[in-house]
Amino acid sequence: MSISQIETVAAGDDFAVDHCRILGAAHARTGADGKDYQISFELRLPNDWNQRFVHQFNGGNDGSVVPAVGELKGGDESDTALNRGYAVVSSDAGHAGDANPEAGLAGGARFGFDPEARRDYGYTAVSKLHPLATTLVETYYDDGIDYTYGVGGSNGGRHAMVAASRMPDAFDGLLVGYPGFNLPRAAVQHAWDIQAFKAISGDVRTAFSREQLAAVADGIAQACDSLDGLEDGYIADTDACQSAFDIEALQCDAAITGHCLSKAQVAALTAIHNGPVNSQGVPLYSDWPWDIGIGSGDWRFWKLETPIPPWNNQPLIGVMGSASLAQLFTTPPTEVAGTPQALEQYLLDFDFDSDAPTIYATTDRYPESAMDYMTPPDSENPTLADFNDQGGKMLIFHGVSDPVFSVNDTTHWYRKLDANNNGQAEAFARYYRVPGMPHGAGGPTVDDFDFFTALVDWVEQGKAPEAVVAGVMPGNDDAMAQLGQVERKLCPYPQVARYTGGDDASAASFACEE
């Protein structure tokens, strides 16, 4: 391990606390692809330390050292673990995302040609860095860490779930946000989506107008809004909504004006929500729920269109998603050119019979498949027995309108976990669905929530989390237009927040019921 920089950071606009910032690296090596690799990290150590530590798991393809502030994944980005007095570490997961500029938009995933870099990204960067970071913390303060937490969303949520399986004694508590724990399978969905959208008009970006997706969201609300006892623009009863809503009710003849859908558009949305299958009808990932967040900007950003000119305004799944599927999540990796056109074409050419199985493939050079190194080892049949035996606690939350990782996949995983623990998984793992929320806090829903405090109270005081009250963050225009300034209860699965009467802006007017 090497330390490259140590500096004192004063409290100010960016940070609420005085702290020490340390930059370092560990496990430097030359990869099989001839590139230099190391696990670069940042450690922030508050002057007024609460004797607690957070390992910050980052998202996307990693590849950069995100400031180690410990974002707690609610809508209030100023509420961080560092500002609460926690020491925090962050890393690039063992590779530099800008190491292959010649690869253009595919460069961030080009590390997939090095087997060890794949493995570090999947799980070993966390296991290698964690003991080094905790030793640095305890050496700096000359005192022990009382409690250790891991926090992450998206790919960071996957890191947390993998750590629970592979490092069951390393964390007292894990906060798991909208996890991509089945990331290679979810990447197959990207190809499925792009092919479905492309078939509509020949241009993914114009497959659906904003007004059409807003009309779909309105149609879902009309069918489902009252199922939780109150028509308020918020669909708490996700499960009941799936049988109440019929997408075909929004189809109209092409000659009719307005924002209804063509037959091809209805077919595409139906296929996308059913999830990818091969020619034999075998599911390759997961189904998805109908929810009002389909009309959000986040859903469109991931699935259909971005405002980013260098991407040719292609959606995130068509750029980063394509590069990752080609170079990280299939074996052997396929080198893909880093232009928007080449990346889209890779997804259009993806074959669900011959290419999809390569997420499970190995070779002599790549002895671990993408499913081996990316997913928790017991993801198909989870028990988390060792994590539970060590006294660990896990709190998972996921937006019902997530366009990247299906909340249904996480729900199915939690149901298996519960069944394998004789219906007692709630003793160490609790799961919350956030209606209307896309990929992370925001969107047409309550987004001012604090799951981390609930986790800490559970770990340190034995107070098991129940309903978490959430409000609307200032500046969330989608939520203000949809809901107004309200509070709602987020209930532990399988409970649903149902209106019991009274002030419909108050969380006290709702009860968590099955």
Residue 416: exposure state from Cβ atoms within 10 A (0-12, 13-18, ≥19): middle
Enter the tokens of residue 227.
Answer: 């199922």
**174 half-sphere exposure, CB direction, 13 A CA radius:** 35
Cα distance between residue 466 and residue 203, in whole Å: 45
Q: Is 457 annotated in the active site? A: no
Cα distance between residue 285 and residue 125, in whole Å: 26
| Parallel, antiparallel or unpaired: strands 19-30 and 36-46 | antiparallel
**How many degrees, rounded to 5, is the angle at CA 367 between CA 361 and CA 370?**
50
Catalytic annotation, pick one of 114, 402, 409, 478: 402
Catalytic annotation, pick one of 19, 95, 398, 439: 439
Backbone angles phi, psi at 9, to 5 degrees: -115, 125
Beta bridge partners of 244: none
DSSP-derived secondary structure for 194-256 = HHHHHHHHS-GGGSS-HHHHHHHHHHHHHHHGGGGT--SS----HHHHHHH--GGGGB--TTS
Percent composition of the chain: helix, strand, coil (DSSP 3-state, to 5): 40, 20, 45
Euclidean distance between the first and the last CA atom of the chain, given in angstroms as a whole number:
51
Cα distance between residue 163 and residue 140, in whole Å: 25
Q: Is 402 annotated in the active site? A: yes
Q: Is 218 annotated in the active site? A: no
Enter the tokens of residue 107.
Answer: 């460069």
Catalytic annotation, pick one of 40, 91, 154, 286: 154
Return the DSSP state at 124.
Answer: I
Cα distance between residue 329 and residue 373, in whole Å: 10
DSSP-derived secondary structure for 299-329 = HHHHHT--S-GGGTT--HHHHHHHHHHHHTS
Instruction: Report the side by side order of strands in the sheet with 429-434.
Output: 2-9, 19-30, 36-46, 87-91, 52-57, 147-153, 173-177, 393-399, 429-434
Report the greatest alpha carbon distance in the chain.
Answer: 75
Cis peptide leading into residue 283 (ω within 30°) = no
Catalytic residues: 154, 402, 439
